[in-house]
Structure 1
Amino acid sequence: MADAAVGSLVRKLGDLLVQEAINLHGVSDQVEWLKRELETMQCFLKDAEAKKNNGDDERVKNWVTKMRDIAFEAEDIIDTFMYYTLRRQQGQPGCIGFIKRLRELSRVEKYMAFLILVQLINTKSGEIPILPQLRDDIDMVGFDDEKKKIVLELVNEEKTNRSVISIVGMGGLGKTTLAKNIYNDHEEKRSFDIFAWVIISQEYTIHEVLKRISSKISATPSADTIQDLSDIETCCPTSLLDYAHQLVQRCGGLPLALVVLGGLVSTKPQTQDAWHKIVDSMKGQFVEGGKRCLKILALSYNDLPYYLKSCFLYFGCFKEDEKIPAKTLVRLWLAEGFLPKKNGTTTEEEIGFDCLEELAQRCLIQVTKRKYDDSAKRCQIHDLLRDMCISEAKESRFLKLYKNDAEDCMTTANAARRLIIFNEIETLNYSNSKLRGLFYDKSDNLPPFRALKGQLGKFKLLKVLFLLAISDISEFPSEIKSLIHLRYLEFHSVNLKEVPSWIGHLRNLQTFILSYGGRLEKISDSLWTIGNLRHVCLPTSTGPPPNMRNNVPKNLQILEWVNAGSWIGNALPKLTNLRKLKICNVSNDHANALSSSLQKLGRLASLSIEIGDEIPLDNIITAFSNQHCPKKLFLKGSLNHKQLPLNDVFPQQLVKLFLMFSKLEQDPMATLGKLPCLKYLKLYDAYEGKQMICSAAGFPQLLSLTILVFDQLEEWHIEDKTMPRLKSLWIINCKRLKMIPEGLKNVSLHRLVVSLMPEEFKTRMKENTGEDWYKIQHVPNISFP
């Protein structure tokens, strides 16, 4: 009876998609009704999705799949209606072939199917445990002997030939953890002049591997970290030891599985009843070998909230081992409508970063690099988890990896919602006109664009268009202008010349990114009439300034790499939601207008300015003196006063500061050392004096300091109790600096990098024999790239 009800339901809803040209008037009420029905479907799907993995009942899984297809069809109907509505509003020709008998579907029949589904799901036994919030900082446990053997091989001076040491084993065994632990051992690194950490995916070329090694030999990647694992007996009550040993046994010694499972029990009450339920729920679920790890990892995925599952599956849109920009993920999630709504002043972008952190805490992804404010900058997914992600995405028709021109494509009714192309293709043989996302990225060899040219227009419901490494095109494909639903457009082209006037037709566009461009000759004014714009990044500083006039996109939060112009005084003050701003070629003519406008941008947290000639820096810095949001400041260019303004006019909340080509004649450290929140300081050709002093008790929060191209600097003094938290120091190309500062011996450095310095300077730092060795002998990681 249940199968018959679903079959009837699917067929009737399919009948509603029969195309018939009708007047738009009279169907809007029906579309609103369908929206309400879709919300009901999605509620059931969320519940069903959370419970379908409780058992192996294929009937439940089939029900969930059929309900998902129904919801997809409802979405398609609504989006198609909106597509034609927007086209008419824009005065474009065309009529809608739409729903003739929308209300003919019996509500009783629909809810009968839903009730049967819910009843089937709710009668399943078993319980999926809630997974924890996991830390990502781990010490290696259980590999001490293996590490010693490998280290002995590495430092054996009797072996003069080059050699390769292989660490083999099934996925999740801890091979990468062991290798990285050895690589990041500071004592072992001192035995080598050159070292590099390079990740090689399953698909690679020798040329690409050599290029990666070459790019890495001048830097030492920071250590990846995993969940800290303790000895069971020291962290577990005696009454729970038996359960703990049973859980560990089920992991089969696989570190990745132990991490997930250890985090799971950490969120449960330390009672026999709670732990017994976990042990009982895991009985019979796991198999031998590498699949055991995937089964355990699947627990974490199955426990995700509905919206986080979609966010996680998006990692399948990126290449293996790719370090993915966190901001890109968040913007894509926002464009797709995955992020939950929250009351209050929290922005959707902030919600997106919270979602990313939760995925990291659950050990489904890893944050590989953080920004100055400790938010995620780049992230990565383990290859086993990526395999699980793609498998789940394929089952739920979330995405499809398109591999070749001749492959058998699914029909529109059961095709994936997102298409991912990583290889070069001649033609795109894909018939699903209901596609929501299209990703095209074969950046290694700059593939031709001809496979997609002329075909984009048929994907009229696209929300995301992500086109990287487009080498053979100098203008936007005109088909894009018909993609009215488009919210995210990223286009990388080396030859693009113009942003066309039809860009204004994309009324729903939120993110617009051009990258790797040459000289952009024209940016149409219509871009700035798109009220939904949130993020705009233009390719270079060589293009024309934006002409925003009076119709500014007031929702704009990110504006990067735009040229200075009259818009600074006219339009910039109206962009009151700006969080990040990068302006190029600022001249004296713009200085006063820029200073005045910045005072009105109360939410601006990050500002980058490239100065075309000498300008009065005081005016720009003092514009921030009474604001609380500025955290990052980058100033490139010489300053006409040749000195920094006094400390009290600097934004006191600054966390990161980068001064480049400042040509200061007075020591900047006197002012900068008093900034209470400063953590990251980089000075590039910023000071022309011979002596520099870091005064006592200065730089209380500084973590990283880079001194680069100080041509005249001869003496550097670091007084007592200066930079108490400094972890990383880079001294680069300061040719006249005589020696390492004496005060460095009192700074608890973790890393010291000395590059492009005279041989005499480096000789003084030589281990055990150098005159300055006593100043740095406590530093565990010293390199001379």
Structure 2
Amino acid sequence: MAETIVEIVLNKIADILSAEADFLGKVGDKVDLVNRELGFIQRFLRHAESKRSQNKLAKHWINEVRDVAYKIEDALDEYFVEMKYIRPSRVPFLFLMKYFNPDPLHSLGTKIDKIQVILREISERKDRYEVSLDQDKEWQPKQLLRRRYMLEDIDETEVIGLQSDKNIILNRLHDANLSRCTVISIVGPGGIGKTTLTQMIYKSAKAAFNSHVWLTISQNFNLSDILRKMIDLSSSEPNVQDEGHLIEPMEEDECHLIANLKRLLSGKRYLIILDDVWNKDLWVQLKAALPDENNGSRVLMTSRSINVAKSADHSMTPYLLNFLNEKESLDLLLKKALPFQNPDEICSSVLGEVVKPLSKKCKGLPLALIVVGGILSTKDPSYHAWKKVLETMDWHSDDGKDCMDVLAMSYEDMPPHLKTCFMYFSSFPEDYEISAKHLIRLWTAEGFLPPRTRSRTMEQTAEDCLDELVQRCMVQVSSRCTNDSIKNLRVHDLLRDLAVHEAEDDNFITVFSKGDVHQPNRETRRVSLQFCSSQLIKDINPNTRSFLLFGEPLPKFAAFRLLKVLQIEGIMQGIELTGLNVLINLKHLGIRNCKNVHIDSRSFGYLLNLEILDVRGTSIKPHTTSMEPHTTPMEMHNFLWKIDTLRHVELSEPLSGPASSEELEHLQTLRWILVSETWRNELPRLTNLRRFGIKNTFREWDIVTKVLTTLPSLVSLGIKGDKIPLEIVNMSCHSLQSLYLEGKWSVNLADNASLFPPHLIKLTLVGSMLQSDPLPELAKLKYLKKLRLLKHSYLGKKLTCPAREFVNLKKLEVSQLIQLDVWEIREESMVRLNYLKICGCRKLRVLPEVHHLIALRELKLESMPHIQG
């Protein structure tokens, strides 16, 4: 994590030196010296980070580097806040300010002098720490590897929940239609049972192969050693799997080893197990040694990374191992705790009141269930003894350390920026469903991401990071958008616990949950308050950069003037949001799902570095004490559109749009705004806008048409208004993928489906008042994946899905069509539909025939009084 903090600080220094060198004067030279010294130290951080878990001295040195980076960041941010720093283009006389108020510049110079002394001391200590990097180890890799085999010795008759998985993989191994050498991959997070499942398969399948080898791959594998092991095992034809011990080195180079192994395996139908593969380079290097003679040879690979699995064999879909369900979890836990007793009888006894919440604590992770079961097996099988385990269970104690070490291997394998992104999950409450879009915006505001290239935005770089965390099985995707990007995600409780532990260990985030009474670490720069006492706020570091508040009373933000991120969620009582005017550095302001939030609109005039404003689900009201009579919430736009750093604006209530003279070239999201009368003469500059939501109260649609023609990057559009002319959408937005239309149309849909953008994949209609059945025309949208027909979008009595249409549709929602009486879905229609929701269609008495919807996985019926069951 220190490496990421140093990278953030170096980027900040580089920006300052390029923009403010003349203004800083001699202090600029001092800042440059600090920049070079810190850059030198950064070169050694990656090596030290790799030793952090093994070496206390390395960890101490890393903490020193992190703390001095924080000091530099504090000094620079405090200076610019003192100067009320805004861009020179805004204040032409900025360069004169140093003559009238030199104290902030002098204070910065003094702080930099002290920091230089600390940096020199850190550099001098580096050599001493480097000498000791291999000493004082807390644990060895081989010890950790042995912990991974906790599941391996379980008798197959005791295994819970893996029998169906075993049969599926065995069918793939023995598939007679696959004669080529095929790589079959099993993927899942640490502790989910990949090795156990593979052992079951290996025992059942190896007799069908002439040669079989089991190899456990280390994170830092050596190809020559792997080849030597395979040669040795293939020559001796062992009857048991190899436990990962290396044979003595042979005096042969890799080319000779590859040739020898290929010769040994030639003419044989072989089965090779590669257990726990971390790096896709392994298969790239190893496949040259494995002959493919179309005899049904197989390679069975386990990995924590989907990308590693895919890279080995692009034609075979990796097999994702799922967490155990509630019953399987209970059975496994009780088999370990009380192996000779009936699980059903235990659950129906008083012990069931304790064992069920203990099982839920493990969230279906087999390794965790085995650990907890092992703890219970050492206790008296009584309610009070097991209740004590439930109340005191700590995954980072001696009892749970083995489990957390296995999970931590995945964390330690990640590059620094991914570790930082992962630790950030600790800032969300347990079992919280996280919006991917929201998370990505928080990451970008925090500055966690690697430098972006010209061809990719910060958001796209963040999406790559999130995808990689998914591929590494560190987070779970709970839903996807119609374009298959991640919509919502969750983090397994144990992985979240790992994130909390690592974040607090690194002073990265302090997390307070309900019932916590411990005092916050004064050095931390980020705080997450999750439904806990507001009394803790008074002890929080005034240099805090991020506040994430869930259902909490608000602190006085004027005390945290270096704040960059402020996220508030779920406060139901009316609140006065004060002190925003001092938050010069604020980049992200999120106020989600709160009631009656009072803000002085003039505060936005000070937030000149704001990039993200998200107030969805929140009603913004005038400040009740300081609002002047002529200032109303609708006039917030007078201040908001002067912030030229804005990139994403999400509003609950429509606000007047930016004036034509405003330059908002960074703006990518703007929802919802009112059509501005000033756009008749000159249009706003929104060339990078990708998501746009607009409400037209004039009914003069020529203005909207003019605006849409200037948005070449638009992919998502929402329009609210009356008598919407459908032509404006197709005429202006050929690249549009998502369209939301709320309001009555000026034309009927019949024979007008061609007016929609041709590549539309998501369509929502509300209040369209259509008289004719829209489905026959909408079926012509060949790329449509999601369709929502909502309240009063159709006033007719019958819907008909034509045969062999909607071939790509995956999600369909029909809601509050109050006249709908008959609905027919003809055969071979909607063959990919997996989600169907019908809500509030109160006259609909018979469901459409859905038996031929072969892909349907979820059917939801809500407020349907005439539908039984």
**TM-score scaled to structure 2, two decimals?**
0.64
Question: SS of the counterpart of 1:98?
Answer: helix
Query: Partner of 2:533 in structure 1?
Result: 424
Q: Which amino acid aligns with 2:70?
A: F
**8 Å CA contact retained: 2:191, 2:407:** no
Query: Partner of 2:794 in structure 1?
Result: 687
Query: Partner of 1:327 in structure 2?
Result: 437
Query: Partner of 2:391 in structure 1?
Result: none
Q: Distance in 2 between matches of 1:359 and 1:398?
A: 19
Query: Partner of 1:753 in structure 2?
Result: 860
Matched, 1:113 2:223: no
Query: Partner of 2:699 in structure 1?
Result: 589
Query: Partner of 1:606 in structure 2?
Result: 716
Q: Bigger shift: 336-345 or 677-686?
A: 336-345
Query: Partner of 1:50 in structure 2?
Result: 50
Deviations 1:14-44 (A, max 9, x none): xxxxxxxxx9543123223323433333443
Q: Residue 98 and residue 528 in structure 1: after superposition, are their counterparts in 2 closer, same or farther (change >3 A)?
A: same
Query: Partner of 1:656 in structure 2?
Result: 762
Question: SS of the counterpart of 1:753?
Answer: strand
Mapping 1:478-627, distance limit 5 Å: 479-492=579-592, 493-498=594-599, 500-518=601-619, 520=621, 521-522=633-634, 523-541=636-654, 544-566=655-677, 573-584=684-695, 586-611=696-721, 613-624=722-733, 627=734
Question: SS of the counterpart of 2:596?
Answer: coil
Deviations 1:694-734 (A, max 9, x none): 22331120112222333344444434432221222233344
Query: Partner of 1:459 in structure 2?
Result: 560
Deviations 1:677-704 (A, max 9, x none): 1011111232223443322331120112
Q: Residue 469 and residue 655 in structure 1: after superposition, are their counterparts in 2 closer, same or farther (change >3 A)?
A: same
Q: 2:108 aligns with which of 84, 95, 98?
A: 98
Q: Distance in 1 between matches of 2:553 and 2:476?
A: 33
Q: 1:637 aligns with which of 743, 751, 758?
A: 743
Q: Percent identity?
A: 30
Q: Residue 235 and residue 749 in structure 1: after superposition, are their counterparts in 2 closer, same or farther (change >3 A)?
A: same
Give the C-alpha shift of residue 380 in structure 1: 1.5
Deviations 1:379-402 (A, max 9, x none): 211111111111111111101134
**8 Å CA contact retained: 1:315, 1:389:** yes
Q: 1:59 aligns with which of 48, 57, 74?
A: 57
Mapping 1:362-381, distance limit 5 Å: 362-381=472-491
Q: Which amino acid aligns with 1:66?
A: E
Q: Distance in 2 between matches of 1:410 and 1:691?
A: 64
Q: Distance in 1 between matches of 2:529 and 2:620?
A: 28
Q: Residue 568 and residue 621 in structure 1: after superposition, are their counterparts in 2 closer, same or farther (change >3 A)?
A: farther
Matched, 1:309 2:419: yes
Mapping 1:163-562, distance limit 5 Å: 231-233=200-202, 239-241=212-214, 243=216, 262=276, 264=278, 268-269=282-283, 290-402=400-512, 407-408=518-519, 410-411=521-522, 415-422=523-530, 423-426=532-535, 428-430=537-539, 432-441=541-550, 443=551, 447-449=552-554, 452-453=555-556, 456-470=557-571, 475-477=576-578, 479-492=579-592, 493-498=594-599, 500-518=601-619, 520=621, 521-522=633-634, 523-541=636-654, 544-562=655-673
**8 Å CA contact retained: 2:787, 2:813:** yes
Query: Partner of 1:152 in structure 2?
Result: none
Q: Residue 512 and residue 712 in structure 1: after superposition, are their counterparts in 2 closer, same or farther (change >3 A)?
A: closer
Question: SS of the counterpart of 1:730?
Answer: strand
Question: SS of the counterpart of 1:667?
Answer: coil
**8 Å CA contact retained: 1:552, 1:571:** no
**8 Å CA contact retained: 1:470, 1:494:** yes
Give the C-alpha shift of residue 568 in structure 1: 5.7
Q: Bigger shift: 672-681 or 694-703?
A: 694-703
Superposition CA RMSD, Å: 4.1
Answer with 1 or 2: which has the greater Rg.
2
Q: Which amino acid aligns with 1:69?
A: D
Query: Partner of 2:249 in structure 1?
Result: none
Q: Which amino acid aligns with 1:28?
A: G
Aligned length: 619
Mapping 1:671-686, distance limit 5 Å: 671-684=777-790, 685-686=792-793
Q: Residue 610 and residue 499 in structure 1: after superposition, are their counterparts in 2 closer, same or farther (change >3 A)?
A: farther
Matched, 1:143 2:116: no
**8 Å CA contact retained: 1:717, 1:743:** no
Give the C-alpha shift of residue 295 in structure 1: 0.4
Give the C-alpha shift of residue 336 in structure 1: 1.2
**8 Å CA contact retained: 2:743, 2:766:** yes
Matched, 1:708 2:831: no
Q: Distance in 1 between matches of 2:802 and 2:196?
A: 38
Q: Distance in 2 between matches of 1:27 and 1:716?
A: 75
Q: Distance in 1 between matches of 2:585 and 2:499?
A: 26
Q: Distance in 1 between matches of 2:41 and 2:162?
A: 55
Give the C-alpha shift of residue 740 in structure 1: 4.2
**8 Å CA contact retained: 1:435, 1:462:** yes
Q: Residue 293 and residue 235 in structure 1: after superposition, are their counterparts in 2 closer, same or farther (change >3 A)?
A: farther
Q: Which runs of 5+ in 1 are unaligned?
A: 1-22, 131-140, 148-170, 178-225, 251-259, 280-285, 763-783
Question: SS of the counterpart of 2:703?
Answer: helix
Give the C-alpha shift of residue 302 in structure 1: 0.7
Give the C-alpha shift of residue 487 in structure 1: 0.9
Query: Partner of 2:67 in structure 1?
Result: 69
Q: Residue 122 and residue 652 in structure 1: after superposition, are their counterparts in 2 closer, same or farther (change >3 A)?
A: farther
Deviations 1:574-624 (A, max 9, x none): 21111112223x23534221122112211111112222x223222234322
Q: 1:725 aligns with which of 832, 853, 856?
A: 832
Q: Distance in 2 between matches of 1:712 and 1:408?
A: 60
**8 Å CA contact retained: 1:608, 1:633:** yes
Q: Distance in 1 between matches of 2:565 and 2:863?
A: 45
**TM-score scaled to structure 1, two decimals?**
0.70
Matched, 1:28 2:28: yes
